[in-house]
Amino acid sequence: MKKKKQIIQTAIISVFNKCKLVKFATGLLRNNIKIFSTSGTRSELNKNNIQTYHINRLTQYPEIMNGQIKTIHPKIFGGILGNKKKYFDVIQQYQILTIDMVIVNFYPFNNIDKNIDIEKMIDIGGPAIVRAAAKNYKNVIVITNILDYEKVLHEIYNTNSVSIKTRLQLAYKAFDYTMNYDYNILKYYSSKMKSLYANQKKHFFPKQLNLQYIKKQKLKYGENPHQKSVFYIKKKNSFTGTIGSFKQLHGTLLSYNNISDANIALECVNQFDKPACVIVKHGSPCGAAISKNIQISYLLAYNSDPISSFGGVIGFNNIIDDDTIRLILEKQFVEVIVGPEITPQGLQSIQKKKNIKLLICGYCNKKNISSLELHSVNNGLLVQQNNIVNNHIHDWVVVSKKIPSDLEKKNALFLWKIVKFVKSNAIAYGNNFHTISIGSGQTSRIDAVKIANTKYCSEYKKIDCKKQNIIMASDAFFPFRDSVDLASVVGVSCIIQPGGSIRDSEVIQAVNDHNISMIYTGIRNFKH
Amino acid sequence: MKKKKQIIQTAIISVFNKCKLVKFATGLLRNNIKIFSTSGTRSELNKNNIQTYHINRLTQYPEIMNGQIKTIHPKIFGGILGNKKKYFDVIQQYQILTIDMVIVNFYPFNNIDKNIDIEKMIDIGGPAIVRAAAKNYKNVIVITNILDYEKVLHEIYNTNSVSIKTRLQLAYKAFDYTMNYDYNILKYYSSKMKSLYANQKKHFFPKQLNLQYIKKQKLKYGENPHQKSVFYIKKKNSFTGTIGSFKQLHGTLLSYNNISDANIALECVNQFDKPACVIVKHGSPCGAAISKNIQISYLLAYNSDPISSFGGVIGFNNIIDDDTIRLILEKQFVEVIVGPEITPQGLQSIQKKKNIKLLICGYCNKKNISSLELHSVNNGLLVQQNNIVNNHIHDWVVVSKKIPSDLEKKNALFLWKIVKFVKSNAIAYGNNFHTISIGSGQTSRIDAVKIANTKYCSEYKKIDCKKQNIIMASDAFFPFRDSVDLASVVGVSCIIQPGGSIRDSEVIQAVNDHNISMIYTGIRNFKH
Q: Is 60 exceeded by the pLDDT of residue A460?
A: no
| Position B21 confidence tier, pLDDT thresholds 50, 70, 90 | very high
pLDDT by residue (tens digit) across A411-432?
A: 999 999 999 999 999 999 999 9
Inter-chain residue contact A307 with B446, CB threshold 8 Å? yes
| Position B263 confidence tier, pLDDT thresholds 50, 70, 90 | very high
Nearest CA in chain A to B167: A193
- Who contacts A110 (Cβ-Cβ below 8 Å, separation ≥6)? A184, A235
The whole-number pLDDT of residue A205 equals 83
Cα A65 versus chain centre, distance: 41
The Cα B309–Cα B64 span in angstroms is 69
Inter-chain residue contact A526 with B183, CB threshold 8 Å? no
**In percent, how much of chain A has pLDDT > 70?**
93
| Position A83 confidence tier, pLDDT thresholds 50, 70, 90 | confident
Active site (annotated) includes residue B282: yes
Inter-chain residue contact B72 with A73, CB threshold 8 Å? yes
Same domain for A22 and A132, yes or no, is yes
pLDDT by residue (tens digit) across A219-268?
A: 999 999 999 999 999 876 567 889 999 999 999 999 999 999 999 999 99
> Is position B317 within any domain?
yes
Same domain for A67 and A134, yes or no, is yes
Classify the complex by whether its ipTM is higher than 0.85, answering yes or no. no
Mean pLDDT of A423-447: 94
Residues of chain A numbered 83-102 and touching chain B (CB < 8 Å): 87, 90, 94
CB atoms inside a 10 Å sphere around CB B403 = 11
3-state secondary structure A346-410: HHHHHHCCCCCEEEECCCCCHHHCCCEEEEEECCEEEEEECCCCCCCHHHCEECCCCCCCHHHHH
Nearest to A223 among B81, B282, B528 (CB): B528
Inter-chain residue contact A225 with B447, CB threshold 8 Å? no
> Is position A204 within any domain?
no
| Position A464 confidence tier, pLDDT thresholds 50, 70, 90 | low
Residues of chain A numbered 265-284 and touching chain B (CB < 8 Å): 266-267, 281-284
Q: How far is A139 from chain B (nearest CA, A)?
A: 12
Nearest to B244 among A256, A284, A379 (CB): A379
Same domain for B234 and B278, yes or no, is yes
- Who contacts A146 (Cβ-Cβ below 8 Å, separation ≥6)? A17, A19, A20, A21, A24, A105
The whole-number pLDDT of residue B208 equals 82
CB < 8 Å to B94, chain A: 64
Inter-chain residue contact B259 with A380, CB threshold 8 Å? yes
Nearest CA in chain A to B425: A282
Nearest to A441 among B172, B375, B423 (CB): B423
| Position A325 confidence tier, pLDDT thresholds 50, 70, 90 | very high
* CB burial readout B427-453, b (16+ within 10 A) else e: bbbbbebbbbbbbbbbbbbbbbbbbbb
In whole numbers, what is the pLDDT of chain B averaged over residues?
90
Nearest to A382 among B134, B231, B310 (CB): B231
Same domain for B120 and B174, yes or no, is yes
Mean pLDDT of B60-87: 84
Domain end position, chosen among A141, A169, A187: A187
Contact with chain B for residue A375, Cβ under 8 A: yes
Contact with chain A for residue B344, Cβ under 8 A: no
Q: Is 80 exceeded by the pLDDT of residue B325?
A: yes
The whole-number pLDDT of residue A393 equals 81
| C-alpha closest to that of B51 among B63, B38, B42, B40 | B42
Q: What is the CATH number of the domain that holds B116?
A: 3.40.50.1380
The Cα A273–Cα A285 span in angstroms is 19
Q: How far is B376 from chain A (nearest CA, A)?
A: 5
Same domain for B172 and B227, yes or no, is no
The whole-number pLDDT of residue B379 equals 87
Contact with chain A for residue B209, Cβ under 8 A: yes
pLDDT by residue (tens digit) across B265-292?
A: 999 999 999 999 999 999 999 999 999 9
Residues of chain B numbered 471-490 and touching chain A (CB < 8 Å): 479
The whole-number pLDDT of residue B464 equals 55
The whole-number pLDDT of residue A389 equals 73
> Is position A21 within any domain?
yes
Same domain for A315 and A405, yes or no, is no
Same domain for A174 and A265, yes or no, is no
3-state secondary structure A109-164: CCCCCCCCCCHHHCCCHHHHHHHHHHHCCCCCEEECCHHHHHHHHHHHHHHCCCCH
Inter-chain residue contact B375 with A374, CB threshold 8 Å? yes
Mean pLDDT of B410-428: 96
Q: Write out the DSSP string of B229-277.
A: EEEEEESS---TTSGGG-EEEESS---HHHHHHHHHHHHHHTT-SS-EE
Residues of chain A numbered 507-526 and touching chain B (CB < 8 Å): 523-526
3-state SS assignment for residue B493: strand
The whole-number pLDDT of residue A197 equals 63
CB < 8 Å to A147, chain B: none
Same domain for A421 and A511, yes or no, is yes
Contact with chain A for residue B158, Cβ under 8 A: no
> Is position B526 within any domain?
no
Which residue range forms the structural domain that includes residue B289? 219-366
Same domain for A132 and A272, yes or no, is no
CB < 8 Å to A190, chain B: 172
> Is position A210 within any domain?
no
Q: Are A25 and A13 in contact (CB under 8 A)?
A: yes
Least confident of A278-282, A381-385, B140-144, B205-209: B205-209
Mean pLDDT of B110-126: 75
> Is position A373 within any domain?
no
**In percent, how much of chain B has pLDDT > 70?**
93
Catalytic residue, from B18, B54, B135, B461: name it. Answer: B135
The whole-number pLDDT of residue B350 equals 97
Q: Is 80 exceeded by the pLDDT of residue B109?
A: no
Domain end position, chosen among B166, B187, B208: B187
Mean pLDDT of A112-136: 85
Residues of A with catalytic roles: 135, 282
CB < 8 Å to A179, chain B: 179, 182-183, 186, 210
Contact with chain A for residue B128, Cβ under 8 A: yes
Nearest CA in chain B to A455: B447
Same domain for B285 and B355, yes or no, is yes
Q: Whole-model pTM above 0.80?
A: no
In whole numbers, what is the pLDDT of chain A averaged over residues?
90
Q: Is 70 exceeded by the pLDDT of residue A465?
A: no
Q: Are A294 and A245 in contact (CB under 8 A)?
A: no
> Is position A203 within any domain?
no
What letter represents residue A224's amino acid?
N
Among left, alpha and beta (phi > 0; psi -120 to 50; other), residue A152 is alpha
| Position B365 confidence tier, pLDDT thresholds 50, 70, 90 | confident
Same domain for B23 and B165, yes or no, is yes
3-state secondary structure B312-361: EEEEECCCECHHHHHHHHHHCCEEEEEECCECHHHHHHHHCCCCCEEEEC
Same domain for B361 and B451, yes or no, is no
> Is position B201 within any domain?
no
pLDDT by residue (tens digit) across A292-312?
A: 999 999 999 999 999 999 999
Q: Is 50 exceeded by the pLDDT of residue B228?
A: yes
Calculate the dihedral angle through the C-alpha atoms of A109, A183, A150, A140, rounding to the nearest 10 degrees. Answer: -110
| Backbone φ and ψ of B316, nearest 5° | -130, 155
| Position B3 confidence tier, pLDDT thresholds 50, 70, 90 | very low
Domain end position, chosen among B328, B351, B366: B366
CB < 8 Å to A125, chain B: 77, 128
Mean pLDDT of B460-467: 54
Q: How far is B244 from chain A (nearest CA, A)?
A: 5
Q: What is the CATH number of the domain that holds B508?
A: 3.40.140.20
The whole-number pLDDT of residue B196 equals 67
Q: Is 80 exceeded by the pLDDT of residue A2?
A: no
Helices (H), B82-227: 88-93, 125-135, 149-159, 164-196
The whole-number pLDDT of residue A3 equals 46
Q: Is 90 exceeded by the pLDDT of residue A67?
A: no
* CB burial readout B162-191, b (16+ within 10 A) else e: beeebbbbbbbbbbbbbbbbbbbbbbbbee
Q: How far is A77 from chain B (nearest CA, A)?
A: 7
The Cα A521–Cα B13 span in angstroms is 60
Strands B10-15 and B284-290: unpaired
CB-defined contacts A:B, below 8 A: 447
The Cα A71–Cα A76 span in angstroms is 7
Mean pLDDT of A180-190: 88
Mean pLDDT of B59-72: 81
Number of independent structural domains in chain A: 3
Contact with chain A for residue B420, Cβ under 8 A: no
| Position B41 confidence tier, pLDDT thresholds 50, 70, 90 | very high
Mean pLDDT of B320-329: 97
The whole-number pLDDT of residue A196 equals 67
Nearest CA in chain A to B221: A384
Q: Is 60 exceeded by the pLDDT of residue B466?
A: no
Residue B6 burial (CB < 10 Å; 0-12/13-18/19+)?
A: middle
The whole-number pLDDT of residue A461 equals 56
